């Protein structure tokens, strides 16, 4: 039941753009104008403004929480901020603009429903605009906002706004994944069109940024069409004194796609074992059905050999299953990726050995064209690779399901997370043998 | 008919349960930091939701400064017992005796000394992962934390070189001696915590609710008067933390908003004596900052607390 007083839905968004495009200032402005800044924070801002800002409050200091960030006036790592309006609750990831911190931008953006890409109205579209828009598209973020900032410095020129809009719309078709794209002319510093409509833009008929964030439709962002349940933890109370619990064998995990119902037939992959859902156990009592992204414990009709890393799926809309994978990766390590290297690959609840067999292509960030057969993929570059894993993965294309279509690569020894991987759709799906259910 | 839709608390809950189960599956020697405070109370319910009907597969760990509110200790011990969990308590006092921590001259507060005691416990039990109740909305630097926060063999956090944390794929790999701090409540706000306590009907120590208490004024805060010291054979553990004759002394209607120990917890004047009242107090405090209800009485207390609790 919706509460009347409290926000009932969370929107997660990130802000990205080049250095000095005003990302942190924009978040500061959102917090400030939505009255989400606490008194002591305000006092601290005013104090620092008196000393360094010539009386002007520096809203960026609200999110740049590391000493090194304040010293250099840049954002190094993602800062998360939280605010709420009567309509929604927001989790904001303020992500860095510097090319060298792109991996932190990916961290903040990977869980976002919406990405705000800032463009400096004076600079127009630059490499970082293209890179960030590309990464947002690659990560499958459904909603995009292009905030054309510092409009006050181009005299609120409608022509300039359209020039930038045209330049971005010229390359958007190459990305073609966003559910919606909004262009908003703003001044983060002065607050125009951030929370309150600007009197400088009579020619702009769209919503303010906050109004858009409050109203953009996000209910369908989870995949509810194909049941996917990566087994996370086998729940065995093993309590000989309690008759009910003695034989309890539950499979705990977070539903990564679709809906599950009591009585539903399922496959366990990769083994191919079949069973039926006997009970959906939760702490609050058994339920008849559950859906993505709920965390539940499934009890099956049969006592099967199932462990962490296995995937339980519905008998319709089956996933792919292979050890030879084709994926797009964003590389995050100073040591470039070359073919033949071995890693640990974490996909869902499973970690397996993997070898990168070949580098197929690399994206040219200026043209968005693919350059075939690169010798290496360097830090912050994006490419397509072939990977072979020691065990087959049960997966979907990333475009279909962000949770079952994603993986990370971990370098053995240093244990560094070196790549974000997005699987391309499987070339063939698991072939089930339905007849066994007749037994 | 279901709408297949999670509200914000359900979303935060499923995210936190997933993280708890990752900890259980990926680490061998894990612990849950349980102080009896409101955040760790939520952690316990999330652990129940993550692991029942099995036992919670990790002991609870708490570091005592020796200056705790007795109400909190009683509550902590009772909850651990109710849940059938093993509770490990390590104290600053013991650490002095073992020589892993040393009293700071001129410093009564033992807040800082909790750090070596915690690291000592991690070493003693060879914990590779500790779950904590810290939240990103508490503080600026905390806003930069990952869910899985890697610590080197000295227990240090390197904020400029954190592992990328992408989707819900947490890299839990460690080399010997290293450990992980995991914060399932990272995305929760103070309001979320109280709304969750309300929804789950969780018991909290009674010092969160308004009560009459002798307080004294020090450093711009109302500090609680420590319990009387009757054992003349031993040194007074609260030596230095008792009101001096020059300090203002009053019997007030107060509650705590955040709990450290008796020496470092400022009491706020408040009439909030139910979870609903506390939620209203926090919400009203926000409105006051918006400048629309400056006359609201409840908000004054909530606002004062924020000023007092400097690190917030």
Q: Look at chain B and count its residues.
A: 312
Tell me: pLDDT of A7 over 50.
Answer: no
Residue A170, number of CB atoms within 10 A of its CB: 10
What is the enclosing helix (H) or strand (E) of A81? strand A79-84
CB contact under 8 A, A40 and B312: yes
Q: Indicate yes or no: CB of A402 within 8 angstroms of CB of B22.
A: no
Q: Which residues of A touch B165 (CB under 8 A)?
A: 107, 417
A129 to chain B, any CB pair closer than 8 A? The answer is no
Per-residue pLDDT band for A223 (boundaries 50, 70, 90) equals confident
Spatial distance between the Cα atoms of A89 and A6, rounded to a whole number of angstroms: 9
Distance from A126 to chain B by nearest Cα, in Å?
25
pLDDT score at A105: 83
- The residues, any chain, with a CB within 8 Å of residue A141's CB and separated by 6 or more, are A109, A112, A113, A114, A115, A178
Is B157 in the A-facing interface, judged by CB distances under 8 Å? no
Identify the structural domains of chain B with CATH numbers, from first to last.
8-192 (3.40.50.620), 209-308 (no CATH)
Tokens of A269: 């992959």
HEC string of chain B? Answer: CCCCCCCHHHHHHHHHHHHHHHHHHHCCCEEEECCCCHHHHHHHHHHHHHHCCCCCCCCEEEEECCCCCHHHHHHHHHHHHHCCCCEEEEEHHHHHHHCCCCCCCCCCCCCCCHHHHHHHHHHHHCCCEEECCCCHHHCCCHHHCCCEEEECCCCCCCHHHCCCCECCECCCCCCCCCEEEECCCCCCCHHHHHHHHHHCCCCCCHHHCCEEEEEEEECCEEEECCCCCCCCCCCCCCCCCCCCCCCCEEEEEEECCCCCCCCCCCEEECCCCCHHHHHHHHHHHHHHHCCCCCCCHHHHHHHHHHHHCCCC
Reference B304, options B233, B241, B252, B238; nearest CA is B252
Measured between CA atoms, how close is A287 to chain B, in angstroms?
A: 12
Given this model, what pLDDT does residue B35 score? 95
pLDDT recorded at residue A421: 97
Asked if A433 has any chain B CB less than 8 Å from its own CB, the reply is: no
Joined tokens for residue A258: 């679709």
Residue with tokens 């607390």, as numbered in its chain? B305
Query: Which residues 135-174 of A are in CB contact (within 8 Å) with B?
Result: none
Q: Which two tokens stand for residue B256?
A: 């705590």
Contact list, B166 vs chain A (CB under 8 Å): 106-107, 110, 406, 408, 417, 420
Give the three-state DSSP class for A11.
strand
Report which of A118, A158, A159 is spatially closest to residue A24, judged by C-alpha positions. A118
> In whole angstroms, what is the distance from residue A154 CA to residue B140 CA?
33
CB-nearest to A35 from B4, B25, B290 is B290
Lowest pLDDT segment from A48-52, A55-59, A214-218, B227-231: A48-52
CA-nearest of A134, A88, A73 to A109 is: A134
In chain B, what residues touch A295 (CB-CB under 8 Å)? 13-14, 17-18, 21, 49-50
pLDDT of residue B293: 22
From A81-95, A289-303, A317-331, B190-204, the region with the lowest mean pLDDT: A81-95
Contacts of A416 in chain B (CB under 8 A): 163
Judge whether residue A374 has pLDDT over 90.
Answer: yes
Q: Kindly tell me if the per-residue pLDDT of A226 is higher than 60.
A: yes
Distances (CA, A) of A323 to A199, A386, A428, B292: 58, 10, 12, 61
Flag whether residue A91 sits within 8 Å of chain B, measured between CB atoms: yes
Average pLDDT over residues A92-99: 82
Count CB pairs under 8 A between chains A and B: 170
> What Rg value do the Cα atoms of chain B yield, rounded?
20
The distance of B153 to chain A (nearest Cα, Å) reads 14
The verdict on B115 touching A (C-beta cutoff 8 Å) is no
CA nearest neighbour of B306 among B108, B69, B137, B132: B137
Rounded to the nearest 10 degrees, the angle between the axes of helix A127-138 and helix A102-109 is 40
| Chain A residues 289-328 with a CB less than 8 Å from chain B | 289, 291, 293-295, 308
Q: Which residue in the set A283, A332, A344 is minimally distant from B164, CB to CB?
A: A332
Mean pLDDT calculated for residue range A174-188: 91
CA geometry: angle A19, A178, A157, nearest 5 deg: 50
Q: State whether residue A416 sits within 8 Å of chain B by CB.
A: yes
| B24 has a chain A CB within 8 A of its CB | yes
Q: Does the beta-carbon distance from B171 to A417 stay under 8 Å?
A: yes
- More confident site: B307 or A24: A24
Mean per-residue pLDDT, A227-241: 92
Contact B164 A8 (CB under 8 A): no
Q: Are A343 and A357 in contact (CB under 8 A)?
A: no
Q: How many Cα atoms are found within 13 Å in the side-chain-facing hemisphere of A325?
A: 31
Most confident range, picked from A71-85, A125-139, A300-314, B295-309: A300-314
> What is the Cα–Cα distance from A154 to B32, expressed in whole angstroms?
55
Asked if A431 has any chain B CB less than 8 Å from its own CB, the reply is no
Domains and CATH numbers, chain A: 10-221 (3.40.50.300), 228-314 (2.40.30.10), 320-423 (2.40.30.10)
How far is residue B282 from each of residues A173, A290, B197, B279, measured CA to CA in Å? Answer: 47, 33, 14, 5
DSSP class of A429: B
B165 touches chain A (CB under 8 A): yes
Helix (H, G, I), strand (E, B), or coil: what is residue A95? coil
Distance from CA of B141 to the nearest CA of A (A): 5
SS3 A144: strand
Radius of gyration of chain A (CA): 24
Can you give the pLDDT at residue A54? 53
Q: What is the dihedral of CA B6, B9, B11, B12, to 10 degrees?
A: 180
Q: Which residues, numbered 64 to 103 in chain B, qualify as contacts with chain A under a Cβ-Cβ cut-off of 8 Å?
A: none
- Residue A436 per-residue DSSP state: G
- pLDDT value at residue A8: 74
Cβ atoms of B79 and A281 within 8 Å: the answer is no
- Asked if A291's CB is within 8 angstroms of B141's CB, the reply is no
Contact with chain B for residue A246, Cβ under 8 A: no
DSSP line for A20-68: TS-HHHHHHHHHHHTT---HHHHHHHHHHHHHHSTT---GGGGT--SHH
* Distance of alpha carbon B133 from alpha carbon B112, whole angstroms: 18
At residue B22, φ and ψ (nearest 5 deg) are -60, -40
Instruction: Give tens-digit pLDDT for A143-164.
Output: 999 999 999 999 999 999 999 9
- Looking at the predicted structure, is the pLDDT value of residue A43 above 80? no
ipTM: 0.92
Residues of chain A found within 8 Å of residue B266, distances taken between Cβ atoms: none
Q: How much is the pLDDT for A439?
A: 39
| Structure-derived torsion over alpha carbons of residues A275, A277, A282, A284, reported in degrees to the nearest 10 | -160
- For chain B, 312 residues long, the average pLDDT of each consecutive 10-residue run is 80 98 98 96 98 96 93 97 96 90 81 87 95 88 88 85 92 95 95 96 97 92 89 82 91 91 87 95 56 27 29 24
Q: Does B176 contact chain A (CB < 8 Å)?
A: no
């Amino acid at each position: 039941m919706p509460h009347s007083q409290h926000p009932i839905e969370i929107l997660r968004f990130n802000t990205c753009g080049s250095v000095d495009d005003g990302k942190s200032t924009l978040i500061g402005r959102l917090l400030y104008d939505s009255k989400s800044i606490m008194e002591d924070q305000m006092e601290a801002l005013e104090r620092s403004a008196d000393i360094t800002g010539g009386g002007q409050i520096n809203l960026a200091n609200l999110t740049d929480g590391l000493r090194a960030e304040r010293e250099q006036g840049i954002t190094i790592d993602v800062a998360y901020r939280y605010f709420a309006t009567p309509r929604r609750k927001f989790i904001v990831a303020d992500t860095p603009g510097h090319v060298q911190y792109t991996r932190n931008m990916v961290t903040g953006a990977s869980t976002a429903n919406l990405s705000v890409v800032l463009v400096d109205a004076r600079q127009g579209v630059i490499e970082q605009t293209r890179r960030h828009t590309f990464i947002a598209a690659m990560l499958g973020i459904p909603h995009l906002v292009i905030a054309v900032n510092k409009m006050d410095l181009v005299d609120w020129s409608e022509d300039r706004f359209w020039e930038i809009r045209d330049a971005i719309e010229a390359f958007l078709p190459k990305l073609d994944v966003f559910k919606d794209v909004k262009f908003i002319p703003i001044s983060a510093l002065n607050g125009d069109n951030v929370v309150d409509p600007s009197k400088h833009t009579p020619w702009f008929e769209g919503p303010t940024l906050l109004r858009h964030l409050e109203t953009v439709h996000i209910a369908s962002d989870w995949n509810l069409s194909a049941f996917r349940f990566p087994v996370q933890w086998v729940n065995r109370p093993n309590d000989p004194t309690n008759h009910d619990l003695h034989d309890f064998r539950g499979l705990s995990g977070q539903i990564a796609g679709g809906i599950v119902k009591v009585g539903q037939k399922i496959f366990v992959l990769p083994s191919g074992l079949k069973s039926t859902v006997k009970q959906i156990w939760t702490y609050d009592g058994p339920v008849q059905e559950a859906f993505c992204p709920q965390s539940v414990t499934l009890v099956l009709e049969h006592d099967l050999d199932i462990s962490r890393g296995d995937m339980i799926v519905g008998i319709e809309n089956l996933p792919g299953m292979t050890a030879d994978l084709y994926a797009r990766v964003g590389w995050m390590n100073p040591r470039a990726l070359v073919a033949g290297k071995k890693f640990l690959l974490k996909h869902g609840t499973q970690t397996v050995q993997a070898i990168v067999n070949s580098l197929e292509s690399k994206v040219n960030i200026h043209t968005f064209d693919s350059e075939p057969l690169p010798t290496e993929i360097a830090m912050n570059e994006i490419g397509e690779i072939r990977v072979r894993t020691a065990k087959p993965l049960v997966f979907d294309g990333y475009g279909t399901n962000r949770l079952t279509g994603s993986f990370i690569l971990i370098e053995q020894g240093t244990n560094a997370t070196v790549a974000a991987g997005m699987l391309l759709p499987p070339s063939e799906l698991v072939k089930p043998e339905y007849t066994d259910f007749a037994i | 008919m279901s709408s297949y839709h999670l509200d914000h608390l359900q979303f935060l809950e499923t995210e936190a349960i997933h993280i708890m189960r990752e900890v259980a599956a990926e680490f061998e020697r894990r612990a849950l930091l349980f102080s009896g405070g409101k955040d760790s109370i939520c952690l316990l319910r999330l652990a129940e939701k993550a692991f029942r009907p099995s036992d919670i597969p990790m002991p609870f760990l708490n570091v005592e400064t020796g200056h705790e509110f007795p109400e909190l200790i009683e509550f902590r011990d009772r909850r651990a017992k109710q849940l059938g969990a093993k509770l490990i308590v390590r104290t600053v006092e013991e650490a002095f005796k073992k020589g892993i921590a040393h009293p700071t001259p001129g410093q009564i507060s033992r807040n800082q000394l909790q750090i070596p005691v915690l690291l000592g416990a991690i070493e003693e039990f060879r914990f590779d992962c500790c779950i904590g109740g810290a939240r990103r909305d508490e503080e600026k630097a905390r806003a930069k934390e990952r869910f899985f926060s890697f610590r080197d063999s000295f227990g240090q956090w390197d904020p400029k070189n954190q592992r990328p944390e992408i989707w819900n794929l947490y890299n839990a790999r460690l080399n010997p001696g290293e450990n992980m701090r995991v914060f399932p409540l990272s995305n929760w706000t103070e309001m979320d915590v109280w709304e969750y306590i309300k929804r789950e009907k969780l018991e909290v120590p009674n010092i969160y609710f308004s009560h009459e208490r002798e307080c004294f004024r020090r450093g711009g805060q109302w500090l609680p008067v420590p319990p009387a010291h009757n054992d003349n054979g031993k040194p007074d553990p609260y030596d230095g933390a008792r009101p001096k004759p020059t300090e203002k002394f009053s019997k007030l209607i107060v509650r705590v908003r955040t709990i450290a120990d008796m020496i470092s917890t400022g009491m706020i004047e408040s009439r909030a004596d139910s979870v609903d009242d506390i939620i209203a107090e926090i919400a009203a405090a926000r409105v006051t900052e918006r400048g629309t209800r400056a006359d609201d009485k409840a908000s004054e207390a909530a606002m004062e607390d924020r000023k007092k609790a400097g690190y917030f």
